[in-house]
C-alpha cells in the first residue's frame, strides 16, 4: 500500500504535542493568554520581569517575585558582560543573527545564578555587543539596577533611552515572550525532553526562530516597505508579488485565522511611542491593502496580519538596526523557552514521534 501523509500531517497542524500551563493561543477567536491573562492586559500593565516571574513560577512551582527576577536578570547581565571575551570569539565575520547563535552556544552554568537567569540575562548583552561591534564601537556595560527593557535599549543604542522608548520595548517583550507550541518552543521542548540542559535546549530554539517563516520575518517586512516606497506603488507592488506567488512577510499564521491579537497590541505601543522616525500611516495603508489583496487572491485561506508586521515597525522606530531584530525577538522569547524547557523536563517523557518510510526496501533474499 502506497500511503502518504497530507500537508497538514507533515506540518503537525493542530496536533497537541504537550500539556502546558504557560500560554494558550485561540486562532479562531484571535486570543492569546499568557500565564493566565490576555496579552493586551499584560502588555499594558506588566513588566517583562513580572511576566517572566509568572512563567518561571508556573513551570517549576517556585514563588519568584518581579523584584527577584529583576535582581537576578541584572546580576546575569553583569556576569555576561564580564564573560564577553569567552562568548564572542566565534562571532567575528558573522552577521548579527549568526553571531548571536555562535555566542549563545558558549553560555554555561554560572555559580549563584539559575540557568534561566543566565540565559535571559545574557541575551541582550550579547545582542548589544554585536550591534555595537557592527557599528564600529565597543560593548556598552549593563546597569544591573535598570529594567531589562531599559538596559537592553541602552546597550543597543549606546545612550540612555527615553521612558516612552522603554515602555514600548517592554510592551514588545511582554507581547512576544511566549506563544504556545510555536516552532522554536517545540524545538526547545524536544531538546529538553532528552534531559539535555537548558543551554542546549535554548540554543536549539534560537536556531528554529531564525527562519523567515518564524522569527526571521521582521527584517524582510521592512525591506518590503522600503521596496514599495510610496502610496501609489502599494497596489501594483503587492499585486505583482502575489502574481509571482511570493509570500508577503508579516501575514499568515498557522494558528490564527483572524488578525493576530499581538498586531494590535504592538500597533498601540507604536502609537504611544509617538515617534517621527516611522511612517505608521503608510505602513497601515500597506497592511490594509495586503489584507484585502490576500482575501481577494486566496479567499479560502483566511490570511491576516501577524505579529511580525508591527514588530518590524516598532523595533525600527526604536532605532534598533534591522539586522538585530531576530536576536531581540529571542531576548523576549527566551523567557518562554526557559519555562517550556523546565515544564518539559518535569514530565520526564522523551518526545519521539515516528516517520512514514517511503524509501526503497532491500530486495528479498531467499533463505
Residues marked active site are found at: 253, 308
CB of 329 to ligand ACO, least distance (A): 7
CB of 271 to ligand ACO, least distance (A): 21
Closer CB to ligand ACO, residue 72 or residue 311? 311
Closer CB to ligand ACO, residue 150 or residue 313? 313
d(Cα 132, Cα 210) in Å, to the nearest integer?
21
CB 293 within 8 A of CB 242: yes
d(Cα 249, Cα 308) in Å, to the nearest integer?
8
Closer CB to ligand ACO, residue 81 or residue 251? 251
CB of 306 to ligand ACO, least distance (A): 4
Strand order in the sheet with 37-38: 23-26, 31-34, 37-38
CB of 133 to ligand ACO, least distance (A): 27
CB of 248 to ligand ACO, least distance (A): 4
Which residues of the shown chain bind ligand ACO in the complex (CB under 6 A)? 11, 182, 212-215, 217, 247-254, 298, 301, 303, 306-308
Calculate helix-pair angle for 261-273, 280-297, nearest 10 degrees: 160
- Tell me the three cell numbers of residue 31: 486570543
Q: Which residue has its beta carbon closest to ligand ACO?
A: 252
Closer CB to ligand ACO, residue 299 or residue 359? 299
- Tell me the three cell numbers of residue 209: 526562530
Per-residue DSSP letters for 46-74? Answer: --HHHHHHHHHHHHH-----HHHHHHHHH
d(Cα 318, Cα 165) in Å, to the nearest integer?
7
d(Cα 316, Cα 324) in Å, to the nearest integer?
10
Q: b/e for 187-209, b at 16 or more Cβ within 10 A? A: bbbbbbbeeeebbebbbbbbebb
CB 165 within 8 A of CB 320: no
Which residues are registered as beta bridge partners of 31? 26
* Alpha carbon distances (Å) from 328 to 160, 216, 267, 343: 18, 11, 18, 24
Closer CB to ligand ACO, residue 89 or residue 211? 211
Question: Which helix (H) or strand (E) covers residue 32, if one does?
Answer: strand 31-34
Closer CB to ligand ACO, residue 212 or residue 321? 212
Which residues are registered as beta bridge partners of 24? 33
CB of 71 to ligand ACO, least distance (A): 30
Closer CB to ligand ACO, residue 213 or residue 240? 213
d(Cα 346, Cα 281) in Å, to the nearest integer?
47
Amino acid at each position: 500500500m502506497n500511503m502518504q501523509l497530507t500537508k497538514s500531517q507533515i506540518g503537525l497542524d493542530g496536533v497537541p504535542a504537550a500539556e502546558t500551563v504557560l500560554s494558550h493561543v485561540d486562532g479562531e477567536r484571535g486570543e492569546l493568554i499568557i500565564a493566565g491573562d490576555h496579552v493586551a492586559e499584560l502588555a499594558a500593565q506588566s513588566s517583562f520581569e513580572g511576566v517572566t516571574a509568572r512563567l518561571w513560577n508556573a513551570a517549576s512551582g517556585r514563588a519568584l517575585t518581579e523584584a527577584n527576577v529583576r535582581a537576578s536578570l541584572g546580576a546575569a547581565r553583569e556576569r555576561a558582560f564580564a564573560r564577553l571575551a569567552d562568548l564572542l570569539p566565534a562571532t567575528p565575520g558573522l552577521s548579527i543573527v549568526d553571531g548571536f547563535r555562535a555566542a549563545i552556544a558558549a553560555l554555561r552554568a554560572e555559580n549563584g545564578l539559575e540557568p534561566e537567569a543566565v540565559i535571559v540575562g545574557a541575551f541582550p548583552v550579547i545582542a548589544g555587543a554585536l550591534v555595537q561591534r557592527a557599528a564600529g564601537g565597543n560593548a556598552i556595560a549593563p546597569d544591573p539596577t535598570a529594567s531589562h527593557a531599559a538596559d537592553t535599549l541602552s546597550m543597543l543604542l549606546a545612550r540612555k533611552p527615553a521612558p516612552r522608548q522603554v515602555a514600548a520595548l517592554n510592551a514588545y517583550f511582554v507581547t512576544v515572550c511566549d506563544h504556545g507550541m510555536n516552532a522554536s518552543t517545540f524545538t526547545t521542548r524536544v531538546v529538553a525532553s532528552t534531559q539535555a540542559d537548558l543551554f542546549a535546549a535554548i540554543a536549539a530554539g534560537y536556531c528554529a526562530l531564525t527562519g523567515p517563516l518564524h522569527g526571521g520575518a521582521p527584517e524582510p517586512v521592512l525591506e518590503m516597505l522600503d521596496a514599495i516606497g510610496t502610496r501609489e506603488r502599494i497596489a501594483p507592488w503587492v499585486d505583482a508579488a502575489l502574481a509571482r506567488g511570493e509570500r508577503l512577510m508579516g501575514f499568515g499564521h498557522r494558528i490564527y485565522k483572524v488578525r493576530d491579537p499581538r498586531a494590535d497590541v504592538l500597533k498601540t505601543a507604536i502609537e504611544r511611542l509617538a515617534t517621527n522616525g516611522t511612517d505608521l500611516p503608510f505602513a497601515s495603508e500597506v497592511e490594509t491593502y495586503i489584507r484585502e489583496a490576500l482575501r481577494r487572491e486566496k479567499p479560502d485561506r483566511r490570511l491576516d496580519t501577524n505579529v511580525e508586521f508591527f514588530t518590524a515597525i516598532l523595533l525600527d522606530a526604536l532605532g534598533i538596526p534591522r539586522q538585530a531584530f531576530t536576536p531581540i525577538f529571542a531576548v523576549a522569547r527566551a523567557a518562554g523557552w526557559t519555562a517550556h524547557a523546565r515544564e518539559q523536563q518535569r514530565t520526564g517523557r522523551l518526545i519521539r514521534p515516528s516517520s512514514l518510510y517511503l524509501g526503497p526496501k532491500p530486495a528479498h533474499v531467499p533463505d
